[in-house]
Amino acid sequence: MEKTLYLVRHCKATGQAPEAPLTSEGVEQAERLVRFFRGREISSLISSPFVRAVQSIEPLAKELKVSVEIDERLAERVLSNEDLPDWLERLEESFQKLDLKLAGGESGVEAMERGAAVLETAPNHCVLVTHGNMMGLLLKQIDISFGFKEWMKLSNPDVYEVKIKDGNRTINRLWQEDSDGKM
């Protein structure tokens, strides 16, 4: 059985809190996502519960006249519940040591497992909206060479096509900074 999924990183937001909305630029980017997906077969939309993720896909939901299903498993990974002045270095370390678990946080392995469960159960041609760290970990699970340097290159928004065939998974980045429709 073959399945195609679209893994989307949310558009630009005002912050990292779960309730942080999109910026005005992020709202424009959400409209670009509508044009980007126009003409592609889309069966359903599943989003992280964070406001910025839902707002990123709402214009497409309106265009397609479908509802957005919320799935907690697509929420951003919590690296730690403590203030980490060196958070970027710690994040890089967590890509190298997937079982690293900081205070109050979630290991890369734990985040990968919850995200992968969504990929497994999502229907063919589904759009899945998540966050940078979670997206990076899911891409790393599919392609072990995807690491911190590749994560640093992710944009807001970003779109990867995930193909699943006979248990094998492949990824292909579709989004370009100037994406506004046909690629």
pLDDT for position 182 = 38
Count of alpha carbons within 13 angstroms of residue 108, beta-carbon side: 23
Quick one: 23 exposed, middle or buried, by C-beta within 10 A (0-12, 13-18, 19+)?
A: middle
Provide the CA 169 distance to its chain's centre, in angstroms: 16
pLDDT, tens digit (0-9, with 9 covering 90-100), for 69-122 = 999 999 999 999 999 999 999 999 999 999 999 999 999 999 999 999 999 999
- The domains of the chain, with CATH numbers, are 7-78+112-173 (3.40.50.1240)
> Structure pTM?
0.94
> Nearest CA to 133 among 87, 70, 171, 84?
87
Indicate the residue type of 65.
K
pLDDT for position 58 = 98
Low-confidence ranges of the chain (pLDDT < 50): 181-183
- Return d(Cα 59, Cα 50) in angstroms, integer: 16
pLDDT for position 179 = 56
- Return d(Cα 168, Cα 126) in angstroms, integer: 18
β-pairing, 44-47 vs 126-130, is parallel
pLDDT for position 167 = 83
